[in-house]
Structure formats: C-alpha cells, structure tokens
C-alpha cells in the first residue's frame, strides 16, 4: 500500500464530457499550429489543464487516465502534494544561483543521496544537467576525457537524445538524424540486447576495424526505451561489463527512461547486478521539473574545473523536487511499481491470449510494452496508431514506441483499480477493432 494518500480533486477514472477534442482544446491546437515548431510529434489532440496522481484534466473538463506520465517523467504522479510543497518552499527561498559558480545546499544534499544509492563500489560523484540529452552529452565528454580515447559503441534502436553527441548515438528512427549530418565521428552501432551482437563485436569488429583499445565507452540502455521497451537477453549486460573490463572501456548506462524507480529498482541495471562506470539519468528524477544527472565512479569523474559546467543544471528548485521524489520512491512507490507492473503484465497476457493482434507483454515494473501485429504476425504500426487514437477517445492516454509497440509508463502512484480500468479500455478498443 502507498504510504501517502493522494488528495482526490479529480475523478480516479476517465470522464469524457465533450467530443474530442473539445472546443477549447480545438482552439488551442489551432493557435499552437500557427506558432510552434512543426517538429513536435503529437499523436492526438490532448490539451492538458491540470493533473493529479494518474489523472489529467483537459481544458474542456475531460478527465483522462494517464499511462504516459508525460513520457515517463511524473514518477510521483501529477502534482504530488509533497513534491509541490518542496517546490513552493524552495521557490520562496531561492530560485537560482548557478551551481557552477556558487554553492547551495539542495544541490549538495541531492548529490549525497544519489551518491550513496548509485550501484558503484565506492559511491559516486554527480554532475547535474537539465535533461537526458545533456546528461548523455556530458557522459560522452567525460568518457573521452578520462580514457583519452575517442571511439564509442552504441546500439541500433537506441535513443539517447537530440543534441549532436547524443544524437550521434541515437539510432531509433531515421527522421531523428536525417538532414542533420555530419554527426560525431567514431560511433559504431551494433544490434541491441543479444549475445549474437556481442559475438559480432568481439569476433568481427574488434579484430578487423574497431581497435578495442581505442574505444572510450560502450553506451547502453538497461532496457531499451524509445526502441520498443526491449529487455536484453539474459547475460547480455553482464557480458558487456566483462568486455569493457577486458579492454579498459567504460560502461555507460543510460537510465534516462528506465531509472528513478520506474522498473521497481532505483536503476534498472540493478536487476542484473551489474555495476556500470557511469549512469545518466533525467526524466523521472524530479517528478516533472527539468533536471538530469551524470553519476560516475569517483575515480572516473576527475575532470578539471572549467572542463564541464552549466548555468541551470542542478537548479535549487529542481533539486528540492528531486529530494522529495527520492523520499517518496523509497517509501512505497518503487514497491508499488513492482506490484502494479505485475498486475499490468498479467492483464496484458490475458488480452494477448484473447486477441492475436497484440503480443505478450515485456518489461519490468511500470516500464511495459506490447507489439501490435497484423494477421501474418508482422508489426502493424497503423493498427498501433489507431489504438492510440481510440484509447484517447475513451479517456486513456497511451504512447507508442519501437516499430509498432504501445508503451505503458504511468506515474508510479497508479493503483490496481486504475490498472484494471486501463486494461478494460484496451479490451474495448481491441474488441471494436476486431469487429
């Protein structure tokens, strides 16, 4: 059971009162179209006004069950009272001073808390950023700086961000790279998650074109996120660690999506008992405020003053939100993620037995996905997109990922009734599509 009751101002299940989008939402979408970048990717016209726990209300008073958490961000739910209170108290004290040039306690306190929880042998040093891509950008720089090497190995299907370094590691969708070249040189991609791929690295690439002693880092998601919530084969991450050890390569684990309790552990890599050299995180760390962090073994984060810095990273208000988030994760939310994830997967298993259009689920904790399949068992992205729309019209917010997957990454405060509601809506959508 969760230790902190959420104040109920919104209903705890979907409540649709207009056609969708409603009149106010329609007007805002039109205004948006005129002035915001066309590069944003919106699957359906949801215009959010407020949120609470796992529910969000749109500008027309329609209430939705949110299985997206704003792309796996609002770990403690929308507007958790303890997080809101921490933000308000800190905002009234100090909004900004820049941790690059000055000191303030929330940044130190958060670094201390992360350092003792990092799955490293001797604690950690922490560099704070504002986002996932910035965390990965910094990790690439740190790996090159520390090793004096330049090459990097990453994985097909990976998503590490949109800035040049991180984008050069990203290999999720061509549209994310097209027309932006040249990218960072020296990055080699191999297939994700299989021993066959590591055989290829060791037996084909290392002896022929990729001198392992020139590789600074292998960058890997513990569970691949945008690529489809892919869980690697047993032993894959352990073997990667062993390869890194053999050649003095740093193992960087990108936990931007899988971290901060989402899989039932603070970092997903803990499921495999592997100790990386560097972990990057962001998204759920501050429950919705922009914050990222690079955690590194202390003997690795040895760059000199001025070599890496940021104006906003580790902002005091974001750090206060993260301290409150961490406390909530450890006082029930991570355990809830494990329990609710099991319930969700059990329900999705039942649906996959009933409907040949969906695959059995995969994932850990509340990082779960299913694929949508056509009558020949091939990935069906059109069907996936249709289901996202139909679920939206019934008050269920879902996101896609991978080739034709639907991901379930709700706030970690979700309860069993809400899991059942999500499953029931999915059932209704699949039943209608089958007719």
Ligand X SMILES: Cc1ncc(COP(=O)(O)O)c(C=O)c1O
Min dist. Cβ of residue 78 to ligand X (A): 18
Nearer to ligand X, 136 or 168 (CB): 136
Letters for 206-225 (x = contact with ligand X by CB under 6 A, - = none) are ---------------x---x
DSSP3 helix / strand / coil % (the chain, rounded to 5): 40, 15, 40
Nearer to ligand X, 132 or 363 (CB): 132
Min dist. Cβ of residue 218 to ligand X (A): 15
- Binding segment (CB under 6 A) for ligand X, from list 195-203, 245-253, 254-262, 266-274: 254-262
Distance of CA 215 to the CA centre of its chain: 26
Pairing of strands 250-254, 278-281: parallel
Nearer to ligand X, 118 or 289 (CB): 289
Question: What's the half-sphere exposure (Cβ side, CA atoms, 13 Å) at 423?
Answer: 22
Q: Report which of 141, 276, 151 is spatially closest to residue 215, judged by C-alpha positions.
A: 151
d(CA 91, CA 320): 9
Peptide bond before residue 206 is cis, with ω within 30 degrees of 0: no
Q: Which of 14, 77, 99, 161 binds ligand X (CB under 6 A)?
A: 161
Min dist. Cβ of residue 177 to ligand X (A): 14
In sign, the C-alpha dihedral spanning 23, 28, 29, 31 is: positive
Q: Which phi and psi (to 5°) does residue 66 adopt?
A: -100, 105
Whether the Cβ atoms of residue 86 and residue 106 lie closer than 8 Å to each other: no
Interface of this chain with ligand X, residues 268 to 287, rule: CB under 6 A = 282
Residue 172 makes contact with ligand X by CB under 6 A: no
Nearer to ligand X, 131 or 197 (CB): 131
Residue 192 makes contact with ligand X by CB under 6 A: no
Q: Which phi and psi (to 5°) does residue 65 adopt?
A: -90, 125
- Binding segment (CB under 6 A) for ligand X, from list 49-57, 157-165, 271-279, 307-315: 157-165
Nearer to ligand X, 13 or 172 (CB): 172
217: its two tokens: 């880092």
Nearer to ligand X, 154 or 323 (CB): 154
Min dist. Cβ of residue 226 to ligand X (A): 5
Q: Report which of 329, 353, 359, 433 is spatially closest to residue 389, judged by C-alpha positions.
A: 433
Residue 160 makes contact with ligand X by CB under 6 A: yes
Min dist. Cβ of residue 311 to ligand X (A): 17
Residue nearest to ligand X (CB): 132
Q: Report which of 133, 45, 173 is spatially closest to residue 310, judged by C-alpha positions.
A: 133
d(CA 251, CA 241): 7
Residue 257 makes contact with ligand X by CB under 6 A: yes
326: its two tokens: 């961490």
Q: Report which of 397, 396, 379, 382 is spatially closest to residue 433, judged by C-alpha positions.
A: 382
Angle, helix 416-434 to helix 381-393, in steps of 10 degrees: 120
CB atoms within 10 A of CB 1: 8
Residue 226 makes contact with ligand X by CB under 6 A: yes
Nearer to ligand X, 173 or 349 (CB): 173
Min dist. Cβ of residue 280 to ligand X (A): 7
Q: Which phi and psi (to 5°) does residue 253 adopt?
A: -105, 120
Nearer to ligand X, 362 or 394 (CB): 362
- Binding segment (CB under 6 A) for ligand X, from list 158-166, 193-201, 339-347, 415-423: 158-166
Min dist. Cβ of residue 262 to ligand X (A): 11
Interface of this chain with ligand X, residues 112 to 141, rule: CB under 6 A = 131-133, 136
Nearer to ligand X, 136 or 325 (CB): 136
d(CA 375, CA 219): 36
- Binding segment (CB under 6 A) for ligand X, from list 58-66, 78-86, 154-162, 344-352: 154-162
Binding site for ligand X (CB under 6 A): 131-133, 136, 159-161, 221, 225-226, 254, 256-257, 282
């Amino acid at each position: 059971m969760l230790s902190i009751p959420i104040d109920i101002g919104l209903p705890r299940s979907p409540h649709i009162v207009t056609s969708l989008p409603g009149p106010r939402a329609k007007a805002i979408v039109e205004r948006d179209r005129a002035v915001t970048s066309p590069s944003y990717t919106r699957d359906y016209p949801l215009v959010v006004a407020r949120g609470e726990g796992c529910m969000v209300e749109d500008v027309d008073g329609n209430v939705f069950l949110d299985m997206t958490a704003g792309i796996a961000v609002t770990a403690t739910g929308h507007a958790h009272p303890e997080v809101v209170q921490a933000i308000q108290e800190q905002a009234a004290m100090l909004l900004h001073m820049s941790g690059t040039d000055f000191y303030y306690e929330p940044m130190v306190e958060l670094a201390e808390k992360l350092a003792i929880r990092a799955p490293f042998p001797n604690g950690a040093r922490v560099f704070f950023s504002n986002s996932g891509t910035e965390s990965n950008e910094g990790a690439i720089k740190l790996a090159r700086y520390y090793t004096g090497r330049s090459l990097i190995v990453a994985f097909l299907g990976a998503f590490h961000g949109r800035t040049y370094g991180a984008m050069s590691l990203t290999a999720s969708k061509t549209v994310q790279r097209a027309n932006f070249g040249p990218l960072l040189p020296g990055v080699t991609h191999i297939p994700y998650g299989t021993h066959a791929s590591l055989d290829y690295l060791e037996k084909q690439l290392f002896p022929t074109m990729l001198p392992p002693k020139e590789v600074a880092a292998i960058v890997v998601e513990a569970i691949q996120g945008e690529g489809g919530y892919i869980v690697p084969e047993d032993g894959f991450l352990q073997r990667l660690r062993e390869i890194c050890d053999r050649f003095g390569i740093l193992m960087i684990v990108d936990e931007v999506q899988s971290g901060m309790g989402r899989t039932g552990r603070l970092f997903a890599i803990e499921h495999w008992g592997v100790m990386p050299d560097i972990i990057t995180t962001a998204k759920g760390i501050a429950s919705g405020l922009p914050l990222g962090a690079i955690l590194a073994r202390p003997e690795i984060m040895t760059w000199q003053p001025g070599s890496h810095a940021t104006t906003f990273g580790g902002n005091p208000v974001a750090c206060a939100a993260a301290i409150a988030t961490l406390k909530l994760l450890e006082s029930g939310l991570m355990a809830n993620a494990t329990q609710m994830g099991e319930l969700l997967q059990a329900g999705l298993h039942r649906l996959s037995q009933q409907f040949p259009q969906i695959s059995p689920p995969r994932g850990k904790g509340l990082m779960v996905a299913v694929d949508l399949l056509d009558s020949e068992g091939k990935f069906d992205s059109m069907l996936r997109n249709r289901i996202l729309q139909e679920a939206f019209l019934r008050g269920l917010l879902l996101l896609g990922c991978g080739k034709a997957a639907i991901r379930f990454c709700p706030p970690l405060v979700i309860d069993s009734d809400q899991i059942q509601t999500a499953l029931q809506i999915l059932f209704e959508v699949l039943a209608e599509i089958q007719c």
